[in-house]
């Protein structure tokens, strides 16, 4: 497009270089040590040094929250005493043998 305009260089060679750069994945110089034994030893040493100087970082506790069923379970009675957990009672009722044979 800029052929023949004085003072503006031809940029057609730049597209070829960009395509070649896309084909090769660029790595930082430090990335070559990531896969070697020496790199692993140095990384472990630096992490140990960080622990000595700054203290170990506290681990985050993962909290899993689920919804309780909205309808009560018919065969289970549960009584929880938060002040005295040893008094918690769970009663599971089994169906009568004659009721288990009948459908529905």
State pLDDT tens for residues 28-78.
777 777 788 888 898 889 889 998 998 888 888 888 888 877 776 678 888
Mean pLDDT of the chain: 76
User: Given this model, what pLDDT does residue 98 score?
Assistant: 72
* Cross-strand pairs, 91: 77
Distance CA 72, CA 81 (A): 19
Percent of the chain topping pLDDT 70: 67
User: Given this model, what pLDDT does residue 49 score?
Assistant: 92
Phi/psi for 76 (5° steps) reads -135, 130
Distance CA 53, CA 26 (A): 34
């Amino acid at each position: 497009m800029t052929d023949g305009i004085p003072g503006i260089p031809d940029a057609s060679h730049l597209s070829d270089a960009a395509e070649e750069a896309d084909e090769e994945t660029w790595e930082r110089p430090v990335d070559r040590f990531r896969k070697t034994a020496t790199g692993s030893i140095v990384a472990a040493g630096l992490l140990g040094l960080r622990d000595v100087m700054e203290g170990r970082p506290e681990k985050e506790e993962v909290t899993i929250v689920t919804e309780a069923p909205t309808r009560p379970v018919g065969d289970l009675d549960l009584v929880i005493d938060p002040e005295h957990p040893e008094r918690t009672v769970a009663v599971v009722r089994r169906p009568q043998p004659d009721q288990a044979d009948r459908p529905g």
